[in-house]
Structure 1
Amino acid sequence: MAQGSFSAQISAFVAKTKERREAVHKESAQRVVEVMQTPRGLGGNLRVNTGFLRASLIGTTSVALPATREKPDGPAAFSYDAGQISLVIAGAEITQPLTFVYTANYARPREYGARGQPGDRWVALAAQRWPQIVSSVCDEVKARTGG
């Protein structure tokens, strides 16, 4: 085998490996968010009444966490738009931390518990699934890219 072709094979292998790594990183992050955002009525752990808590999720690659927000008064219904999360994940470099934060002022008490009520732990339960999610995504990426 000529050296040029060997070098080209190594370069192609490295490029493919980087693409796979990035695909696994981004798809796994997306899936963890999907698990966190799955309402109880659909088999998840997130309580959804008005949708404010669910809609308050934001993603960032910054270390600065956003301020909490008070739920507006009234019977309004809120909807979650995954677009902002998807854009943050898609634009993130693999070296950047991906942080997902619920900005609703009652998110922490709902997650960890307060006033004698146990926490729902929907974020922690999603995070615990990270190893299984990554493994599953790795298998899918391998299958898509031929090994």
Structure 2
Amino acid sequence: MAGQASFTAQVDAWVRETEERMDAVFRESASEVIEEMQRPVGAGGNMPVDTGFLRSSLQVGVNTEPVAAAMPNPGAGAKFTYAASMAIAGAEIGDTIVASYSAKYAPIIEYGGGKRQPRRFVALAAAQWPSIVARVAERLKSSVTGP
């Protein structure tokens, strides 16, 4: 029976490690998609940055509803702070990570409107999810030692 208990303990440990690795790939991939959403046009991304208000209006939650795009731009430069990693840190497989912008004009920048062409900074980043997951999984897999 001792051999059976040892085998069971090994399987349990392997399952825990696998779940932890899956969660790590999920969290890291979500972070990278959000980084891509936030990448300014000047740095090769799709988000136009003038005052920084749109970029700083990013809100990230886990298993929450998106924030309303209702905040008017104060007109002054906004300081960008990246708090998304704190929200993502506790996410697990099965959770929904929600990244949305509270800037009133965020939908116009994303989808276009009037004379403004759509930038699609959210949709283009989200479309990269499969390739980002594959890249993150490979990177994390190569950094793991052991079985």
Shift of 1:62: 4.0
Distance 1:134 1:7 in 2: 31
2:24 matched to 1:23? Answer: yes
Task: Report percent identity of matched pairs.
Answer: 42
Aligned to 1:35: 36
Q: Which moved more, 1:47-56 or 1:2-11?
A: 2-11
Offset of 1:54 from its aligned partner? Answer: 0.4
Q: What is the TM-score normalised by the length of structure 1?
A: 0.90
Residue aligning to 1:54:
55
CA deviation map 1:11-58 (0-9, x unaligned): 111011011011001000000010011101111111001000000001
Q: Matches of 1:65 and 1:11 in 2, distance apart?
A: 37
* Letter paired with 1:45: N
Structure 1 match to 2:85: 86
User: 2:73 matched to 1:71?
Assistant: yes
What secondary structure, in the 3-state scheme, does the structure 1 residue paired with 2:94 have? coil
Q: Look up the equivalent residue of 2:82 and give its one-letter code.
A: A
Q: Which runs of 5+ in 1 are unaligned?
A: none
Q: Which moved more, 1:136-145 or 1:2-11?
A: 2-11
Q: Secondary structure at the match of 1:91?
A: coil
C-alpha distance in structure 2 between counterparts of 1:20 and 1:63, whole Å = 24
1:91-102 equivalences in 2 (<5 Å): 91-102=90-101
TM-score by length of 2: 0.90
Distance 2:49 2:115 in 1: 20
Mind listing any 5+ residue stretches in structure 2 that lack a counterpart?
Answer: none
Query: What value does the CA root-mean-square deviation take over the aligned residues?
Result: 1.6
